[in-house]
Amino acid sequence: MSKKKKQKYYAIKEGKGVKNKIVRTWSECKELVLGYPSIYKSFYTEEEAIKFLGGINDKDIPAIKEKIKVNIQSSKKRRSSTKAINFRVPNEVYNEFIKKVDETGLDRDKILLEMIKEWID
């Protein structure tokens, strides 16, 4: 038996040629937001979506868009100067690693990076 997906509401504060719009499908939303420094969020109720749209003042939009622009630039820079490594480990090893990380309070990525650096030296 398949689970029924819960219907979402996509609140678009600002998108490609639209402001303060609520749509019901991701395909409709992505046409209005992708490739544009847009402000949007998904919700499970229409009331939440309406509240989101009302909670952002139009005077705040330039600052929000600037923050989005900076985040996009930072992400592009990080992708151009780094490579991702994905690998699978046994559950026991992963659980022990996470336990040790939590005990030390260190960042997982930093630990793995230092281990790789140490190994290649």
Q: Are 11 and 44 in contact (CB under 8 A)?
A: no
Q: pLDDT for 21-53, tens place per residue?
A: 999 999 999 999 998 888 899 999 988 998 888
Q: pLDDT for 56-90, tens place per residue?
A: 776 777 777 777 677 667 777 777 777 888 889 99
| CA-based end-to-end distance of the chain | 53
Q: Are 39 and 14 in contact (CB under 8 A)?
A: yes
CA angle 82, 84, 89 (to 5 degrees): 145
Does residue 1 carry a pLDDT above 60?
A: no
